[in-house]
Amino acid sequence: MTKPITYGMIGGGQGAFIGAVHRMAASLDHQARLVAGALSSTPEKSLASGRDLGLPDDRNYPTWQAMLEGEQARPDRIDFVSIVTPNHAHFEPANAFAAAGFHVVLDKPMVLNSGQAATLAATVAKSGVVFAVTYNYTGYPLVKKAADLVRSGTLGVVRKVFVEYHQGWLATPLEATGQKQAGWRTDPKRAGAGAVGDIGSHAENLVATITGLEIESLCADAATFVPGRTIDDDAAVLLRFKGGAKGVLTCSQVCVGEENNLSIRVYGSEGALAWRQENPNELWHTPRDQPRRLITRAGADAGPQAAAATRLPSGHPEGFIEAFANVYRGVIGAIRAKREGRTPDGLATQFPTVHDGARGVRFIERVLESSARGGVWIPA
C-alpha cells in the first residue's frame, strides 16, 4: 500500500479565510491527510482550532516552533507543512521548516522583501525540499491551455498583454470595523504591500505562467484612495517585456462592485486569447481573420494539459477549489517522486516554486519603487 502523505498547517484557525481552502484542496484527491497544526496566532486559539478539526492532542501545537520541534522528534513526522498566515509570518516558519527538511507549501506573496526571498531560495536549494507558492490561478485547466496556445506559437509573436485584478471590498475603511482580513492587509507591517502585493502579484504571476514573458522594465502609479489608509489600495503598471512585447497591469481593491475580477487578454501576431477567473471554464481564442472560438474546460480542443488538470466531464463547472487542488496535486506528486527517487512528471512539474515566489516579491518592490519615484521607468 502507498504510504499516505501527511501534513501540518500553520495558520488557518478559527475565523481565518484561506486555510480552509488549502485543507479542501489538499484533500480533494484523498492523497494528503492533515495530522498536525499550529493554527492560530495565540496558543489558546491554536489549540481550540486544532480540536475543532479533530487533531490528536499530541500533534495539536500551541505555536509553530513547538510543531517544528515536536514533528522533528517523531518517526512518523509530517511530510510537508502548509503555511497560511498573514504575510509577515511567512518567512520565519517557511525557512525553519525547509531547513529542517520538511517540504513546504506557502501562500503568496512569498515573503516581505527580496532579502528574505534570497535567503529562502538558498535554504530550499540546500535542503532540496519541494517548495510551492500557492499562486493558485496557475492550476486552472484553461490557464494551462492558454499557456499552451502561447508556447506552441499558435498566437504568433506576442505583442500586447492586458491583465487586471479588480476587487471592491476595500472601497471603505473596512479595517476600522475590526474585520480580520482587512485589518492585516491594510497594515504595512503585516502585509508589506497593499493591493499590489495581495492581488497585483497574482496578476504578475498569471502573465508569466501564460506567456512565459519576462518583464524587462516597468512604470507604475500606485495610489491610496481610502482616507487614513497607509498602504496602496490601487495601482496601474505599464510593462515592457524582453523581446519587445508590452503590457498593462492594473490591480485595485476599491473598484466598487468588482468581486474577484482577474482577467487576462493576450494579443499576438496570429491570434488572441481572453480568460476570466470568474468564468474559468471558458477560454476565448481568436485566430487572426477568423471568428472567435470558445474553448471549454474538458470540451473539444481543450488539449492534454487541461485534461490532466480536469476532474469532471465538460459542462459540470469546476472552479477555485479544483484549481487550488491542482497545485497540491503537483506538490504531492513531486513529494512522492522524491520519496521514490524518480523524476516527477506531468502536473508534478507544474506548480509555482520558490523562484516564482521570489520574482513576485521583486515585482511588488519594483512597482512600489517606480511609483514612489514619481512613476518613472525602472528595470524590473
My answer on whether omega of the bond before 379 falls inside 30° of 0, hence cis, is no
| Residue 377: CB minimum distance to ligand NAD, A | 28
Range list of H helices, 212-292: none
CA-based radius of gyration for the chain:
21
| Residue 273: CB minimum distance to ligand NAD, A | 22
Segment contacting ligand NAD (CB under 6 A): 23-31, 33-41, 251-259, 296-304?
33-41
| Residue 21: CB minimum distance to ligand NAD, A | 7
| Residue 106: CB minimum distance to ligand NAD, A | 8
Nearer to ligand NAD, 137 or 267 (CB): 137
Does position 180 bind ligand NAD by CB under 6 A? Answer: yes
Residue at grid coordinates 484542496: 25
Does position 60 bind ligand NAD by CB under 6 A? Answer: no
| Residue 89: CB minimum distance to ligand NAD, A | 4
Q: Map the footprint of ligand NAD across residues 195-224, applying CB under 6 A.
A: 198
Residue of the chain from 6, 27, 41, 217 that contacts ligand NAD (CB under 6 A) = 41
Does position 181 bind ligand NAD by CB under 6 A? Answer: yes
Nearer to ligand NAD, 19 or 268 (CB): 19
Q: Where are the beta strands (DSSP E) in the chain?
A: 5-11, 32-38, 80-84, 103-106, 131-133, 158-166, 215-223, 234-241, 246-252, 261-268, 271-276, 282-287, 293-296, 377-379
Size of site (CB under 6 A) for ligand NAD: 25
Segment contacting ligand NAD (CB under 6 A): 81-89, 145-153, 273-281, 358-366?
81-89
* Residue 134 to residues 162, 321, 341, Cα–Cα distance (Å): 22, 12, 25
Q: Phi-psi bin for 351: left (phi > 0), alpha (psi -120 to 50), beta?
A: beta
| Residue 19: CB minimum distance to ligand NAD, A | 6
Nearer to ligand NAD, 12 or 200 (CB): 12
Q: Map the footprint of ligand NAD across residues 8-27, applying CB under 6 A.
A: 10-13, 16-19
Residue of the chain from 31, 116, 123, 136 that contacts ligand NAD (CB under 6 A) = 136
Looking at beta carbons, which pairs linking 373-379 to residues 24 or more positions away fall under 8 Å? 375/219, 375/220, 375/221, 376/219, 377/217, 377/218, 377/219, 377/240, 378/217, 378/218, 378/219, 379/216, 379/217
| Residue 247: CB minimum distance to ligand NAD, A | 22
Nearest to 26 by CA among 129, 123, 136, 124: 136
Nearest to 356 by CA among 326, 327, 316: 327
Nearest to 63 by CA among 109, 11, 113, 99: 11
Nearer to ligand NAD, 40 or 60 (CB): 40
| Residue 65: CB minimum distance to ligand NAD, A | 9
Residue of the chain from 82, 85, 123, 138 that contacts ligand NAD (CB under 6 A) = 85
Nearer to ligand NAD, 132 or 146 (CB): 132
Does position 260 bind ligand NAD by CB under 6 A? Answer: no
Angle between helices 91-99 and 64-72 (to 10 degrees): 10
In degrees rounded to 5, what are phi and psi of residue 124? Answer: -65, -40
Residue of the chain from 71, 79, 107, 318 that contacts ligand NAD (CB under 6 A) = 107
What is the side-by-side order of every strand in the sheet holding 32-38? 32-38, 5-11, 80-84, 103-106, 131-133
Q: Nearest to ligand NAD by Cβ — which residue?
A: 11
Rounded distance between C-alpha atoms, residue 224 and residue 227, angstroms: 8
Does position 134 bind ligand NAD by CB under 6 A? Answer: yes
What residue ranges bind ligand NAD (CB under 6 A)?
Answer: 10-13, 16-19, 38, 40-41, 64, 84-87, 89, 107-108, 134, 136, 180-181, 184, 198
